[in-house]
Amino acid sequence: MKAEPRERLRELPAVDQLVRAVEHRAELHGIPRARLTACAREVLDAERRRALAGTPAELDAAVLAARVVEALARGVFSLGPVINATGVVLHTALGRAVLSPLALERLAHVGQGYANLEIDLAEKKRGSRYSHVEGLLRRLTGAEDALVVNNNAAAVLLALESLARGREVIVSRGELIEIGGEFRIPDIMLRGGAVLREVGTTNRTHLADYADAIGPDTALLLKVHPSNYRVVGFAADVPTRDLVELGRERNVPVMEDLGSGSLVDLRAVGLPWEPTVQEVVASGVDLVSFSGDKLLGGPQAGLLVGRRPLVARLKKNPLNRALRIDKLTIAALEATLYAYEAGTAWETVPTLRMLTEPLASIRQRADSLLALLSPTQAERLGAAIQEDQSQVGGGALPTVELPTAALALGTATLPASILDDRLRRAAPPVMGRIKDDRLLLDCRTIFPDQLRELARVLTQL
């Protein structure tokens, strides 16, 4: 009887009927009527889709109205906080870097009113929005000049379009990477109007490969940080220094897309060596690009530092206008960079703090979380402390495993997948990770002031 579900759909209540059923509910007070209508329509559409997929339609107006109330009770705003219990410090889907208190303070301060965004107050003339971070970036990286755009993908696009449009860019085959989220180096090159000249092989590229490929059409030698993957075993790439020397000899500029790009030496806290931006600048690279919201721990932005004449060409490109950052980004970025200049970044930039937190301290937080559950609740959820590994995320340091402590949940009657489902729909939503049939709530990325709220959510499951 294929027609039956469709037939029954006619008996679904009308949108108006649902709206009338919920509009006087106290918990929906103040919610715009347009929103009630939209939500009622969504609930009915979802029911229609379910019915067409074979589930008998729910026709009871009271049940459907309750769904509208539940959906709206979560709040009228779509974007909101989530408790990150995945242990992935730079989780792209969860918004990557968490801003420092100073960055938030500056952001609110600047956003509240007018600001000297493009005014040179002393000279009484039009200024540049980039001036607010240029000095900091020059001092922190040792570069001659700096520019900031919307994100690092935009930074690479702008650089290629400005320096290599219609000409060749030489890249090692081992560095033709995809970062995820549709960022592929070959595609960006195409968009930037540059012609990709691949050299070497996936696992090995030598200086001679670059040297042989340089011709009259070569505009740029590009080195790309492999970010989220590693070639191990019989592998070789060309050190930045050698590439710089070759570029000098043959009069071709060298750019390095550092991806994450750190301003601090991560070896200081036992993490593997990653070239810092200042090291890459010191090695003589003409232009370096990196993200504002990966290891740097600031707002989403693409930072470009390098030689003045090259940066000047980027600044003059009309495309730059389309990629520019707003005052809120500048405010948060200036505050984040300031923490590096002041030497307080390790303590105040949440990304660095989370990456360096010792296991004992994370373990304490896991213990506190468990202690906030009553023994009956803990037993019902199968809660126990479990040691595991967290990840850096954001395409940075993919092979690094950070020892961590998690609250592990799941029983035969309340399996991990069900708990995961419910936690994602809780208010606030909680995202954990499932491993070996247990739902792990990794305490590395759970903040101390979220413990009570998380315990309340767990109690209400």
Ligand X SMILES: *Cc1c(COP(=O)(O)O)cnc(C)c1O
- Residues in contact with 335: Cβ distance below 8 Å, sequence separation at least 6, in sequence order: 100, 102, 103, 105, 106, 107
DSSP state of 198: E
Number of residues that bind ligand X (CB under 6 A): 15
Using an 8 Å Cβ cutoff, are 371 and 343 in contact?
Answer: no
Q: In this chain, which of 100, 172, 227, 329 binds ligand X, going by CB under 6 A?
A: 227
Is residue 189 near ligand X by the rule CB under 6 A?
no
Round to whole Å and give the CA distance between 339 and 336: 5
Q: For residue 37, count CB atoms less than 10 angstroms from its CB and return exposed for 0-12, middle for 13-18, buried for 19 or more.
A: middle
Stretch in the footprint of ligand X (CB under 6 A) among 189-197, 222-230, 272-280, 303-311: 222-230
Q: For residue 374, count CB atoms less than 10 angstroms from its CB and return exposed for 0-12, middle for 13-18, buried for 19 or more.
A: exposed
Stretch in the footprint of ligand X (CB under 6 A) among 36-44, 52-60, 119-127, 147-155: 147-155
State in angstroms the smallest separation of the CB of 230 from ligand X. Answer: 13
Q: In this chain, which of 129, 197, 225, 438 binds ligand X, going by CB under 6 A?
A: 225
**For residue 241, which amino acid is it?**
R
Is residue 296 near ligand X by the rule CB under 6 A?
no
Is residue 283 near ligand X by the rule CB under 6 A?
no
Binders of ligand X among residues 99 to 118 (CB under 6 A) are none
Is residue 351 near ligand X by the rule CB under 6 A?
no
CB closer to ligand X out of 291 and 450: 291
Q: In this chain, which of 134, 161, 257, 274 binds ligand X, going by CB under 6 A?
A: 257
Label the pairing between strands 218-224 and 195-199.
unpaired
- Residues in contact with 237: Cβ distance below 8 Å, sequence separation at least 6, in sequence order: 172, 174, 175, 204, 205
State in angstroms the smallest separation of the CB of 310 from ligand X. Answer: 18
Q: In this chain, which of 247, 302, 306, 382 binds ligand X, going by CB under 6 A?
A: 302
Is residue 393 near ligand X by the rule CB under 6 A?
no
Q: In this chain, which of 51, 68, 153, 171 binds ligand X, going by CB under 6 A?
A: 153
CB closer to ligand X out of 291 and 445: 291
Q: In this chain, which of 172, 278, 291, 336 binds ligand X, going by CB under 6 A?
A: 291
- Residues in contact with 69: Cβ distance below 8 Å, sequence separation at least 6, in sequence order: 22, 25, 27, 28
CB closer to ligand X out of 147 and 224: 224
Using an 8 Å Cβ cutoff, are 209 and 182 in contact?
Answer: no
Stretch in the footprint of ligand X (CB under 6 A) among 37-45, 68-76, 243-251, 254-262: 254-262
Q: In this chain, which of 84, 151, 240, 278 binds ligand X, going by CB under 6 A?
A: 151
Is residue 130 near ligand X by the rule CB under 6 A?
no
CB closer to ligand X out of 13 and 302: 302
User: For the chain, how far is it from start to end, CA to CA, in angstroms?
Assistant: 39
Distances (CA, A) of 269 to 7, 260, 337, 385: 66, 17, 20, 25
Compute the chain's Rg from CA coordinates.
Answer: 26
Is residue 152 near ligand X by the rule CB under 6 A?
yes
Is residue 336 near ligand X by the rule CB under 6 A?
no
- Beta-carbon count within 10 A of 101 CB: 11
State in angstroms the smallest separation of the CB of 280 from ligand X. Answer: 13
Phi and psi of 173, rounded to 5°?
-60, -25
State in angstroms the smallest separation of the CB of 288 from ligand X. Answer: 11
Nearest to 60 by CA among 133, 22, 11: 11
Round to whole Å and give the CA distance between 356 and 271: 9
**Distance of alpha carbon 79 from its chain centroid, rounded?**
15
Nearest to 240 by CA among 198, 210, 203, 271: 210
Binders of ligand X among residues 8 to 67 (CB under 6 A) are none
Residue nearest to ligand X (CB): 259
CB closer to ligand X out of 188 and 426: 188
Round to whole Å and give the CA distance between 326 and 156: 19
CB closer to ligand X out of 152 and 205: 152
Q: Which residue has the tokens 């400005």?
A: 162
- Residues in contact with 418: Cβ distance below 8 Å, sequence separation at least 6, in sequence order: none
Q: In this chain, which of 179, 287, 323, 416 binds ligand X, going by CB under 6 A?
A: 179
State in angstroms the smallest separation of the CB of 36 from ligand X. Answer: 37
Is residue 395 near ligand X by the rule CB under 6 A?
yes
Is residue 299 near ligand X by the rule CB under 6 A?
no
Q: In this chain, which of 39, 100, 172, 183 binds ligand X, going by CB under 6 A?
A: 183
CB closer to ligand X out of 187 and 367: 187
Residue ranges in contact with ligand X by CB under 6 A = 151-153, 156, 179, 183, 224-225, 227, 257, 259-260, 291, 302, 395
